[in-house]
Amino acid sequence: MTIYRYFRSIAYLWGLCCLASAVAQERDWSLSEALPVDDNVTAGQLDNGLKYYIRENKKPEGRVFLRLVVNAGSLQENDSQRGLAHFLEHMAFNGTRRFEKSEIVDFMERAGMRFGSHVNAYTSHNETVYMLQLPTDDPGLLETGFEILEDWATSITLDPLEIEKERGVILEEWRQRQGVGERLNEKQLPFIYYKSDYADRKPIGSMIVVRNAPRERFEEFYKQWYRPNLMGVIVVGDIDRQEIEQRIIEIFGELKNPEGALERTPNPVPDHEETLYSIDTDPELTIASFRMLTKRPIAPDVTAGDYRRMIIERLYFGMLNRRLDEKAREPAPPFIQASAGITRIAREKEALQQSVIFIGDEFQKGLDALFSETNRAVRDGFTESELERVKADVLRSLEGAYEERDKTNSDTYAAEYTRAFTVDEPIPGIEMELEMTQAFVDDITLEEVNAIGQGFAQKNSRVGLFSGPVKKGLKLPSENELVAAIQRANSIKLESYEDEFLDEPLLADLPEAGSIVSESYDEIVDTHTWTLSNGARVVVKRTEFQNDEVLMSAFSPGGHSLMMNDEYLSALMSTMILGESGAGPFNSVQLEKRLAGKSIEVSPYISGQYEGFSGSSSPRDLGSFFKLLYLQATQPRLDRAAYSSLESRLKAMIANREKSPQSVFQDAIEEELYGDHPRHRPLSLELLNEIDPDLALQVFKNRFKDFSDFTFVFVGAVDIDELKSMAKTYLASLPSIDREEKGRFLGDEPLPGKRNVEISFGLEEKTSVRVLFTGEAEWSPENRYLISVVRDLLNIRMRESLREENGGTYGVGVYASLSREPRERFSSGFAFSCDPANADILIRAGVNEILDLQERGVRVKNLEKVQEIHLRGYETGLKENGFWLRNLVSVAREGREYHEILDFPNQVKVFDPYQIQEAAKTYFNFDNVVVAKLNPKHR
């Protein structure tokens, strides 16, 4: 259910988004009326208990998403099986009745699908979910996909040799997760999941079991819990619903449930009368934070009345979070960030959550601000003006989803139906959700919304989680001190909130319009190009890929490379500083309020070689979009109070950066690559002190005072004539002084030679490895593609070698890119984490794969896989706005013809194995290589 996803996501509650118009039929709703199943979904249950959900959906075209959902996870394990639900999920990719060893992954890659992106699985406390994405232009591929699902459901072979090999992979997955976050989880989860199995039954399990469990234990779990009455099959995509339903009945209808199977019973999280506190330190923590969870049973969501309550909750927390965000923007902010909302912590339990990230050791100040602001909302409620703005946002978000109902990605629907199966989430469909929202939202009163805050008055089943760094002079509160601090915070009586709203138009005076001095049309790629009277160019591609989306990217050569080294930091931070300041007469808070109910985003940037804008808009909000762009370009604002707030928060975030192993590691690599170059110094408080906000404003004005060399690219559901009119008004009127510029080379290239970086820093018994190659190489579109082929070939080879054959790492990532500016160069490498004792062995294994490609050449089977993966990616990309925006910008920057974008299929087949072998020698050149290792502190 669309609105359900938003309510249960704390991240979403930080910013309500996206919106467009819609018209839906209204009717009178009975609040007791049960929510129906979307007419676009075929949902059913077989006699053996297996449930299925099918939806025909053509986004992306020619693709189908398949899922097998098993309603069993780590909570169903016994003590001797801890970790085997997850281990079994891994084994599903290592041999089934029809597919030996790694043949499933091999089949998917031959079909043009990427391992990880298009074939994957996950195990949680309560369920195990297997996922496939396949092309539908070959019926045999879909049939094979069903065979894979059937084999997963019934015929995982659990080959003893494969089990032994996979033990190492699981151990490395466990090792990779170790760190400060996992250490805090170990301490805090027993409080959150007080006297329940959730804390002890983490999906990764016990490494003692993982190392030693015999095959019989896997078999026991598999036979006990992989049974049809605990399974769901989900199929969404470019398919025929009736045909798919018939195939599901044929394939899964004969499956039998085992006799005497254990009942799947609930795993409750017990209530407790007292408030439990966990106060924890860790040497690698860089900031202190606090969370208060007020646990309660999951609220029902099966009727129209339940849906109305969820709208009210969304309104409440939307307003509360905006107030907390305003507090963070005060000149002397009380915290880095704070939030409140509802989060699901278990199948049967949710929690009201209040959280705060402190500035340094200002714990009392942060707690005072969080709790007093929450209490003010409970005491005084919100204002009518706040409610009207958030209502507009809620309504527009549902309208936007309605506009995109036939352009929503199939994977989104598949995830929604997974929740329908596992937690009984209603799936009434966006049409009905919008209808209910339109029917309910206007009549929801401020009193109803304010009443939600009474949930914070609950005193039982609360958990307070306080964590902070280990630092000389920093003392975390004891439990008694924390209780007293919260009591003090709750006793503060703030004055009633005043809604600061600047009631002025976004742009007071429309600029004097310019003109279009020339036009051209590329019929091959369907793009319009206009040259404006101020010299700027506009490139437009109208699409129907999304109904409610227009994307924009603008660029001009120059960037902060044109700034002197002593101006660099201010230039680098200028758009952030000015973004926090607002624009024109509006500060940032006022501007956000002025834009309530609109789906627009405009973000200026200054990068090394370019300055420009990125943005997006709903088609019906384009007028406001252009006004905001014009305002930012011509009336940048420096708000010193806003800068003071930003500076305080930034300093707090980096004050203890030296405690982070990954930060220390990255700094060491950067120093080895670039020496003491002034533009590659590690981030520090001293560096922040060099930033001059006045200089930041000056740099911004300098970079955005001449639009004669700007190119604006628009892709999406635009009306060409409307956009042309707006371009003349808002873009052709931008200032122009006809200066000729391009970014400059600053000499900040990686130093040549073979070097090693090895540091010992960190508590966990793991080593992080990065091997980096750099050098000069000729840039061309063909070579840019060629380096991607080498990268993907090595990704396959290293996965097979380091993970599958050696069991030495959970995953290895290979990267490689070719840049044109400021000079033609390449950057490549690979990275992984592992047992420190195996680091050198695995580095050699990775290097050997590179040498094997360079000396013995390409394995034809792998090349065919990579070519098919690239062609399939291009196939879906052609129907995506983001693909066209990226490529049109790239072509425009490079001075090429737009129709060259369509040459990609020819590039895929043009290179022979010898050319690829030679490219591997160029882009993974051992003359310039850095081998970097981050070891545990004791090594």
Q: Which of 491, 524, 544 is the last residue of a domain?
A: 491
Same domain, yes or no: 709 and 651: yes
* 767 within domain boundaries: yes
**Tens of pLDDT, residues 274-314:** 999 999 999 999 999 999 999 999 999 999 999 999 999 99
End-to-end C-alpha distance for the chain, whole angstroms: 51
Cβ atoms of 600 and 628 closer than 8 Å? yes
pLDDT of residue 23: 35
pLDDT of residue 29: 85
Tally of domains within the chain? 4
For residue 931, the cross-strand partners are 756, 771
* 564 within domain boundaries: yes
* 673 within domain boundaries: yes
Cβ atoms of 219 and 158 closer than 8 Å? yes
pLDDT of 575 higher than 60: yes
DSSP annotation of 68: E
pTM of the model: 0.94
- List the alpha helices (DSSP H) in 811-880: 839-856, 860-877
Give the CB-side neighbour count of residue 18, counting CA atoms within 13 A: 16
Dist CA 770 CA 832 (whole Å)? 7
pLDDT of residue 16: 27
**What's the mean pLDDT in 881-892?**
98
Cβ atoms of 394 and 314 closer than 8 Å? yes
Same domain, yes or no: 811 and 925: yes
Name the band, by pLDDT with cuts 50, 70 and 90, for residue 938: confident
Same domain, yes or no: 680 and 766: no
pLDDT of residue 909: 85
**Tens of pLDDT, residues 400-416:** 999 999 999 999 999 99
Give the pairing type, strands 462-469 and 275-282: parallel
Give the pairing type, strands 51-56 and 231-237: parallel
Dist CA 358 CA 363 (whole Å)? 6
* 260 within domain boundaries: no
Size of the chain, expressed as the number of residues it contains:
939
Give the pairing type, strands 929-935 and 754-760: parallel
Name the band, by pLDDT with cuts 50, 70 and 90, for residue 250: very high
- List the alpha helices (DSSP H) in 766-830: 781-798
**612 SS3 class:** strand
Cβ atoms of 187 and 60 closer than 8 Å? no
Phi-psi region of 158 (alpha: psi -120 to 50; beta: other; left: phi over 0): left
Phi/psi of residue 82, nearest 5 degrees: -60, 110
**533 SS3 class:** coil
Dist CA 638 CA 698 (whole Å)? 10
pLDDT of residue 4: 47
Q: Residue 613 is inside which H or E element, if any?
A: strand 610-617
* 319 within domain boundaries: yes
Q: Which of 698, 731, 764 is the last residue of a domain?
A: 731
pLDDT of 2 higher than 90: no
* 73 within domain boundaries: yes
> Which residues have C-beta within 8 Å of that of residue 479, sequence separation ≥ 6?
277, 279
**Tens of pLDDT, residues 349-390:** 999 999 999 999 999 999 999 999 999 999 999 999 999 999
Token pair in block for residue 249: 């009945």
Same domain, yes or no: 302 and 429: yes
Domain at 827, CATH number:
3.30.830.10
Dist CA 77 CA 91 (whole Å)? 16
* 10 within domain boundaries: no
Same domain, yes or no: 828 and 931: yes
**Tens of pLDDT, residues 74-119:** 999 999 999 999 999 999 999 999 999 999 999 999 999 999 999 9
For residue 816, the cross-strand partners are 828
Give the CB-side neighbour count of residue 11, counting CA atoms within 13 A: 1
Q: Residue 104 is inside which H or E element, if any?
A: helix 103-110
> What CA–CA distances, in Å, run from 403 to 96, 411, 547, 834?
43, 18, 6, 47
Same domain, yes or no: 240 and 144: yes
Q: Which of 731, 746, 769 is the last residue of a domain?
A: 731
Cβ atoms of 580 and 642 closer than 8 Å? yes
Token pair in block for residue 595: 């834009």
Same domain, yes or no: 712 and 822: no
Strand blocks (E) in 109-237: 119-123, 128-135, 231-237
Same domain, yes or no: 131 and 209: yes
Token pair in block for residue 92: 């599903």
Name the band, by pLDDT with cuts 50, 70 and 90, for residue 939: low
pLDDT of 334 higher than 70: yes
Cβ atoms of 20 and 618 closer than 8 Å? yes
pLDDT of 8 higher than 70: no
pLDDT of 3 higher than 80: no
| Percent share of the chain, pLDDT over 70 | 97
* 32 within domain boundaries: no
Same domain, yes or no: 928 and 860: yes
Token pair in block for residue 100: 């030996």
**What's the mean pLDDT in 731-742?**
97
Dist CA 175 CA 125 (whole Å)? 19
Cβ atoms of 271 and 192 closer than 8 Å? no
What is the dihedral angle through the alpha carbons of 657, 661, 665, 671, rounded to the nearest 10 degrees? 30
pLDDT of residue 690: 95
pLDDT of residue 11: 33
Name the band, by pLDDT with cuts 50, 70 and 90, for residue 14: very low
Token pair in block for residue 134: 């396949």
Same domain, yes or no: 224 and 179: yes
pLDDT of residue 24: 37
- Judging by beta carbons within 10 Å of its beta carbon (0-12, 13-18, 19+), is residue 294 exposed, middle or buried? buried
DSSP notation for 14-43: T----------------TTPBPPPPTTEEE
Cβ atoms of 804 and 838 closer than 8 Å? no
Among 468, 36, 64, which Cα is nearest to 248's?
A: 64
**What's the mean pLDDT in 562-572?**
97
**878 SS3 class:** coil
Same domain, yes or no: 366 and 448: yes
Mean pLDDT of the chain: 95
pLDDT of residue 527: 98
**What's the mean pLDDT in 58-64?**
97
Same domain, yes or no: 615 and 675: yes
> Domain residues for 603?
516-731
Among 344, 85, 77, 346, which Cα is nearest to 195's?
A: 346
